[in-house]
Amino acid sequence: MENDVFSLNRFWRYLKSDFDSFVSRYGITLLVISTMPISCEVFSGVLTLMRTGKWQGMEIDFRMGLFVLFGIIMLINAPSRLYGHLTDRKEGSAFLLLPVSKLEKYISMILITCIVMPFIYILIYLGLDVMVCMFDANCNVSLFSFIYSIDEYKSILAGMQAESLSTLLNNFGSISNPCLFLDDIIRIPLVFLLGALIFKTSKTGKTLGSVILIAMAFKLVMAPLAAYLAHMENLYHMGNAGYLDYSFESFSNAFPLSAWVWSHLSLIDTIWDIILNSFLLFFVWLRIKRMKL
């Protein structure tokens, strides 16, 4: 007898069905969005070829910008397209009547929106970008190589005193690690999935508006604390701190709290993202659990 709460065989069957629904509802859109940055790059190269007689694709910063931009558009737009219909009485009732536990539906929903969809986007785009760079001599470096190397980031600080910046560069390298952004990739669709399950109309717009209002309220609450900490370390006068050199030791002596935050920035960011994602996961589960016929 299968477990009423979770059965691996039943969950696997439902996950495949949910994936098929994902492909039918959002597959074409995902494919278009995944290839759009490359299409822009090819279009830019063709225009340059027509104007100058030489092929010139986009630089790495433009390609990275398009990759991030279209990725964010996908993460924001997809949840309401995939699961926004569940707030409709008829569609929601059909969803609840499926012979699958709510836990299994919840896990499948999270896997599709937060893992499968971003993975497909990244795989298609980076794969196409590598192919373009194989045939384009002006490509210089593929996004895949760029993302997994911090040398490009370090070159930004090349004109500064590199020897005394070793600690700063190490910490900069840690916060630029692409793995550190995985929790951010998960959080964006979680936010808009929650909005898709709460709001009945204008789901994406209302979710975005709610996020802006919450961010403004959080900023108002945290502003006095930030101002107090800044005053404690005399950060308001940092621009006049001409006596400081570029060494991390000098910076940490003058601003110990800021130096500690900088040294542990990747850990602080990870802990904060885990807390936020945990809250979002809990509220998405609570919304699904409380759905009724």
The two structure tokens encoding residue 39: 């299409």
Residue the block writes with tokens 């309401």: 80
Q: What is the mean pLDDT of residues 224-236?
A: 65
Give the pLDDT of residue 245.
53
Res 123: pLDDT: 92
Give the Cα-Cα-Cα angle 188, 209, 78 (nearest 5 degrees): 40
Where are the chain's structural domains? 8-289
What does the alpha-carbon distance between residue 281 and residue 232 come to, in Å, rounded to a whole number? 37
Q: For the chain, what is the mean pLDDT? A: 80
- Residue 146 banded pLDDT, cuts 50, 70, 90: confident
When pLDDT is cut at 50, 70 and 90, the band that residue 164 belongs to is: very low
Task: Return the top range by mean pLDDT from 88-97, 98-107, 181-190.
Answer: 98-107
Query: Could you tell me if residue 83 is left (phi over 0), alpha (psi between -120 and 50 degrees) or otherwise beta?
Result: alpha
- Residue 161 in this model has a pLDDT that exceeds 70: no
CB neighbourhood size of 161 (10 A):
11
> 160 or 182, which is more confident?
182
Residue 200 Cα distances to 51, 83, 206, angstroms: 50, 11, 10
Packed helices 256-263 and 265-289: angle between N→C axes, nearest 10 degrees = 60
Length of the chain: 293
Amino acid in position 100: V
Q: What is the DSSP string of 179-245?
A: GGGHHHHHHHHHHHHHHHHH-SSSHHHHHHHHHHHHHHHHHHHHHHHHHHHHHHTTGGGGGG-TT--
Q: Please report the pLDDT score of residue 240 as a whole number.
A: 47
Model confidence at 106: pLDDT above 70: yes
pLDDT in tens, 48-67: 878 877 777 777 778 888 88
∠ CA 192-195-201, nearest 5°, is 120
DSSP 157: G
This model's pTM is above 0.85:
no
Side-chain half-sphere CA neighbours of 269 within 13 A: 17
List the structure tokens of 259: 């130096």
pLDDT of residue 174 exceeding 80, the answer is no
Identify the residue with better confidence: 265 or 6: 6
Q: Which comes out higher in pLDDT, residue 11 or 53?
A: 11
Q: Report phi then psi at 218, rounded to 5.
A: -65, -40
Number of alpha carbons in the 13 Å side-chain half-sphere of residue 280 = 22
Residue 115, pLDDT above cutoff 90: yes
23, HSE (Cβ side, Cα atoms, 13 Å): 7
**pLDDT at residue 137 greater than cutoff 90:** no
